[in-house]
């Protein structure tokens, strides 16, 4: 595996966050819960294709939130590193709208993986786009500069020192949020420009990320963040989505905002959650569960209809 992928949060193990099962999965192949026939990335197709080849051509690009990492079953014969679910939002939208889907979303993807191979046997995601592509959904940015991963890793470790305080905010402050404006925003703009260049006639939608945490307090230890650090994590998510919206507007792309509809469905929402907490075993921790993917699909379908 490319060493840079070990530092990614979406679809990558983070020490101490209950995500170590991802490493075991990648090392040993599929577990008994995986879709039958799934094998390693060097012997499997990079893209998942469904639907009528003569129908409306829909391409899904993105990271593990878009891939549906942690939601079973995996797409049969898809690259195991990508952890691509047969029940991710793109598959739901394609089935309900009768679209011809090509899904190249992949756990751990950064915007750079649109242009370069992420893993052996997993080509640049932009390769899936063509002049006759009709619809493109993009869910990307959270792995760039390890933005979410670094914040969650550092803040979960800091929480051990003062779970009722704000140790991460006190120690790191805005340094965890600053890369969004400085690095991720221009990277998103460049990625969206590349998408439009490859698929100039397509309707392109940048899908935002749903809330991971409630506004205050949180739910330590299910989400291992100190009480006083929860607002900073919300600020980070707000910034990532705000700059995603801005990048979409700048490049003439529709933005699908998941923040309003995901209020009350964060990882601390118990039976109402759309995000699995850190204590969930396996790669689904801190990712949308099946209900979360269905909710994203609903918002994408609404965007398609407008």
Q: Which of 64, 78, 156, 239 is catalytic?
A: 64
- Give the integer Cα–Cα distance in Å for 240 and 181: 8
- Give the integer Cα–Cα distance in Å for 170 and 163: 13
268 touches 203 (CB < 8 A): no
| pLDDT per residue of the chain (306 residues) written in tens, 0 to 9 | 333 443 444 434 332 233 323 322 332 233 333 333 333 333 335 777 675 666 899 999 999 999 999 999 999 999 999 999 999 999 999 999 999 999 999 999 999 999 999 999 899 999 999 999 999 999 999 999 999 889 999 999 999 999 999 999 999 989 999 999 999 999 999 999 999 999 999 999 999 999 999 999 999 999 999 999 999 999 999 999 999 999 999 999 999 999 999 999 999 999 999 999 999 999 999 999 999 999 999 999 999 999
Output the pTM of the full model. Answer: 0.86
Active site residue 262: no
Q: Which of 91, 105, 262, 287 is catalytic?
A: 287
The predicted pLDDT at position 306 comes to: 92
Active site residue 64: yes
């Amino acid at each position: 595996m490319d060493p840079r992928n070990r530092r990614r949060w979406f679809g990558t193990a983070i020490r101490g966050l209950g995500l170590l099962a991802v490493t075991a999965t990648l090392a040993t192949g599929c577990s008994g819960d995986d879709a039958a026939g799934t094998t390693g990335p060097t012997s499997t197709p990079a893209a998942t294709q469904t639907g009528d080849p003569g129908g409306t051509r829909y391409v899904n690009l993105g990271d593990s939130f878009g891939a549906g990492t942690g939601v079973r079953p995996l797409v049969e014969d898809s690259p195991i590193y990508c952890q691509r679910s047969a029940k991710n939002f793109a598959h739901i939208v394609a089935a309900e709208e009768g679209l011809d889907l090509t899904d190249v979303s992949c756990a751990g993807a950064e915007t750079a993986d649109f242009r370069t191979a992420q893993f052996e046997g997993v080509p640049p995601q932009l390769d899936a786009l063509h002049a006759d592509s009709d619809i493109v959904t993009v869910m990307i940015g959270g792995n760039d500069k390890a933005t979410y991963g670094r914040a969650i890793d550092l803040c979960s470790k800091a929480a051990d020192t003062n779970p009722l305080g704000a140790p991460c905010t006190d120690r790191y402050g805005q340094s965890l949020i600053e890369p969004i404006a400085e690095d991720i925003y221009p990277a998103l703009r460049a990625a969206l420009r590349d998408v439009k260049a490859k698929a100039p006639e397509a309707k392109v939608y940048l899908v935002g990320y749903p809330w991971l945490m409630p506004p205050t307090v949180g739910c330590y230890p299910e989400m291992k963040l100190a009480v006083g650090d929860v607002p900073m994590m919300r600020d980070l998510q707000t910034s990532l989505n705000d700059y995603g919206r801005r990048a979409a507007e700048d490049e003439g792309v529709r933005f699908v905002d998941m923040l309003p509809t995901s209020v009350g469905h964060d990882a601390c929402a118990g039976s109402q959650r759309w995000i699995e907490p850190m204590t969930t075993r396996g790669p689904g921790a801190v990712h949308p569960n099946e209900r979360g993917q269905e909710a994203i699909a609903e918002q994408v379908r609404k965007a398609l209809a407008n």
